[in-house]
Amino acid sequence: MFLTGINPLQREFIDLNTEINTLPSGLLVICMIATAIGGAVKFKAPLTFALAALAVFVIGGISGVFDSSVLLDQELRGTYQVVGHFHYIMVGAAEFGLMAAIYYWLPKWTGMMYSSAVAKLHFITSFIFFNMTFFPMFYLLEMPRRVYTYLASTGWGNYNFIETLGAYGFIISQFLLLYVLVQAFRHKGTPAPPNPWKSAGPEWTSDPKSYVDNYPSVYASTPSGEHAPHVMTPLNSRPFTISLGLGLSCLGLIFGWPLLAAGVVIGAYGVYGWAKDDLNRVFSMPGEEKAGDTWPFKPDGEDFGVWRMKVGTWLFLASDLVFFSAVAGLLLFVRLHLPDWPAVGSVFNIPMVAFNTLVLITSGLTLMLAVQDAKDGKGASMTKWLVATLVLGGTFLITSGFEWVDQFSKQFTFSSGMPGSTFYLMTGLSGAHVFAGLLMLTYLTKKGISGKITRENNSGLRLFSLFWMFVIAMVVVLFPALYLM
C-alpha cells in the first residue's frame, strides 16, 4: 500500500495500523507462554510441536515489524524478505500447530499410541528443514520474489541452494507423519491408555457421551462445587456466532453497510451471550494434579526453583522489549537519515517534556516505597504511596495530552510528514503503556485500600513494579532520542 500512490496521511495511518496489529499478536504469545508455565507440561510430541509453532510465530512477527515502516517497506517490498516473513507467520505457525493437535488427539481418535521415537524424529526434521527453507530468505533483501533465474554474480545462489534442500527435506519428513497416521488408523502398535497425557480435562477423564450429558458437574463447576448458571452444555454456539458476525462485517466493508451492520449486530449478540454465560465460572477447573515436569519452576510450597509468575512477567517484558526495540530502531533510522527533522527547541516544548519525564521517574520512586511498605506490612503507608504513584502517572498522561495540543497549535500534526508520524507513533506508544499501567495501578490501589495487599500477599504489586520500571526506562530512552538529538 505504501507504493500505490495514496496520499501521505493514508500511508501513515496504514503504518500505525500495522504496528498496532503486533499488540494482539504479542498478547497471544504471552497467553501461550503463560499456559505453558502454569500448566503441568510433559515434553512429548504435542508440546514440542506447539513450542515450535510459538517459536516460528515469534520469528515471523519480529521480521514483520520492519515491514510496517514506510521507508523500509519501500525497499523490502516484493523481495524474499517478505516471503520469509509471510511463511513464518501464515505457514509455519499453522503447520506446527496442526501437527501438535494431531499428535495430541490421535490416541483419542484411534485408540492407539504412536511411536515416540518416530514422532520426535518427525519434529526434529520438520523444524530443521522448515528453517532451512525460509530463514535464508531474510538475507535475500535484493532478490525479487517470483524469480527463479538469476545471474551467479548476484550472490543469491548459496541461499537458494539451502532453501531448495530444506524444501525437499521438509516434504520428505512429512512421510514420517503419514507413517504414524497409517499405523494408528490400521490399529498397529500399542493400545492407548484412557488418559495418556494425565490430563484433568473431562475430554480425557470421561467418555464423550457422559462428557456432554454431565457437562455442568464435570466442567462448568468451581472447586467449591458451584455451577455456571447459564451454559449447561459444551456445545456452545457463541464462538460460531461471533465468527459469523466478524465475517459478515468484513464482507460489509466490501459490499456495503447493510452487511456491515448485520455483522456488527450478530457479533455483538455473540459477545453479549458469551459474557452472560459467565466466563469465569464456565472455564473454572477443579485443582489439577501436578502430573508433568516442573523444573525449573517452583512447586507450590517449595523454597527452591524459579517463581512461575515472575518468569511469566519477565517473558512478557522481554516480548515488549523486542517490540519496543524494533520501533526504537525505526526511530533511530529516521533520525539519522531524515534531514528535515525539526531543530531542537523549534517545535517541541523541551522544558515541559523534561518536567514530565521527571514526574514519571518520581512515580517510580513512590512505587518502590509502596512495595517496601507492603513487604514491611505497613498497609496505610503503602496505600498513600500507591495513590501518589497514581497521581504522578496521571499527571504524566495529562501533560502528554497538553503536549499534543501544543504541537497541533504549531501545525505539527499527523500529516507533517515522517517527523510527525514518527513523533506521534512513539509518544502514543509510551502513552498507551502508561495508560495500561494506570489501569493496573488503580486496581492495586483499590486492593490496598481494602486491605488485601499484605506482608504475605503482595506478589501482584511486586510484579507490577517490574512493568512500571520498564515503562519509565522506555520514556527515558525516548526523551533524548525524540527531543534532544
Q: Is residue 464 part of a domain?
A: yes
At 342, give phi and psi (nearest 5°).
-55, 140
Q: What is the mean pLDDT of residues 226-255?
A: 73
Mean pLDDT of the chain: 80
At position 153, the amino acid (one-letter code) is: S
Q: What is the mean pLDDT of residues 341-355?
A: 82
Report yes or no: 263 and 246 within 8 Å, Cβ to Cβ.
Answer: yes
Query: pLDDT tens, 374-405?
Result: 989 898 899 999 999 999 999 999 999 998 88
pLDDT band at 97 (very low <50, low <70, confident <90, very high): very high
Query: pLDDT tens, 15-67?
Result: 666 677 777 777 778 887 777 776 777 788 999 999 999 899 888 888 877 77
Angle at 364 between CA 349 and CA 468, to 5 degrees: 95
pLDDT at 113 over 80: yes
State the pLDDT at residue 308: 65
Among the listed residues 98, 96, 89, 92, the one whose alpha carbon sits nearest the alpha carbon of residue 18:
89
**What percentage of residues in the chain have a pLDDT greater than 90?**
27
Q: Is residue 271 part of a domain?
A: no
State the pLDDT at residue 348: 82
Same structural domain, 317 and 460: yes
For the ranges 69-73, 245-249, 314-318, the lowest mean pLDDT is seen at 69-73
**What percentage of residues in the chain have a pLDDT greater than 70?**
80
Q: Is residue 407 part of a domain?
A: yes
pLDDT at 299 over 80: no
State the pLDDT at residue 43: 84
Cell of 419: 517527523
CATH code for the domain in which residue 393 is found = 1.20.120.80
State the pLDDT at residue 114: 92
For the ranges 98-112, 262-276, 306-320, the lowest mean pLDDT is seen at 306-320
State the pLDDT at residue 280: 45
Q: Is residue 220 part of a domain?
A: no
User: CA-to-CA distance for 272 and 440, rounded, in angstroms?
Assistant: 24
Answer with the residue of higher pLDDT: 315 or 380: 380
User: CA-to-CA distance for 10 and 2, rounded, in angstroms?
Assistant: 9
Query: pLDDT tens, 404-439?
Result: 888 888 888 877 777 787 788 888 888 889 998 998
pLDDT at 460 over 90: no
Answer with the residue of higher pLDDT: 274 or 443: 443
At position 152, the amino acid (one-letter code) is: A
Q: Is residue 270 part of a domain?
A: no
Q: What is the mean pLDDT of residues 5-16?
A: 64
pLDDT at 167 over 90: yes
Among the listed residues 127, 125, 140, 221, the one whose alpha carbon sits nearest the alpha carbon of residue 173:
125
Torsion, Cα of 218, 220, 224, 225 (10° steps): -60
Domain tally for the chain?
2
Q: Is residue 206 part of a domain?
A: no
- Domain stops at, among 165, 200, 235: 200
3-state secondary structure the chain: CCCCCCCHHHHHHHHHHHHHHHHHHHHHHHHHHHHHHHCCCCCCHHHHHHHHHHHHHHHHHHHHHHHHCHHHHHHHCCEHHHHHHHHHHHHHHHHHHHHHHHHHHHHHHHCEECCHHHHHHHHHHHHHHHHHHHHHHHHCCCCECCCCCCCHHHCCHHHHHHHHHHHHHHHHHHHHHHHHHHHHHCCCCEECCCCCCCCCCHHHHCCHHHHHHCHHHHCCECCCCCECCCCCCCCCCHHHHHHHHHHHHHHHHHHCHHHHHHHHHHHHHHHHHHHHCCHHHHCCCCCCCCCCCCCCECCCCCCCCECHHHHHHHHHHHHHHHHHHHHHHHHHHHHHHCCCCCCCCCCCCHHHHHHHHHHHHHHHHHHHHHHHHHHHCCHHHHHHHHHHHHHHHHHHHHHHHHHHHHHHHCCCCCCCHHHHHHHHHHHHHHHHHHHHHHHHHHHHHHHHHCCCCCCCCCHHHHHHHHHHHHHHHHHHHHHHHHHHC
Q: What is the mean pLDDT of residues 456-474?
A: 88
Answer with the residue of higher pLDDT: 122 or 138: 122
State the pLDDT at residue 287: 43
For the ranges 90-94, 130-134, 206-210, 216-220, the lowest mean pLDDT is seen at 216-220
- Domain stops at, among 200, 227, 245: 200
User: CA-to-CA distance for 438 and 440, rounded, in angstroms?
Assistant: 5
State the pLDDT at residue 207: 67
Q: Is residue 63 part of a domain?
A: yes
For the ranges 144-158, 162-176, 188-202, 293-307, the lowest mean pLDDT is seen at 293-307
For the ranges 30-39, 172-181, 447-456, the lowest mean pLDDT is seen at 30-39
**Model confidence, pTM:** 0.51
State the pLDDT at residue 296: 52
Q: What is the mean pLDDT of residues 302-312?
A: 58
- Domain stops at, among 184, 200, 216: 200
Same structural domain, 351 and 470: yes
State the pLDDT at residue 304: 43
State the pLDDT at residue 305: 43
Domain that holds residue 342: 308-484
pLDDT at 104 over 90: yes
pLDDT at 286 over 60: no
Q: Is residue 268 part of a domain?
A: no
pLDDT at 473 over 50: yes
User: CA-to-CA distance for 198 and 46, rounded, in angstroms?
Assistant: 14
User: CA-to-CA distance for 88 and 109, rounded, in angstroms?
Assistant: 29
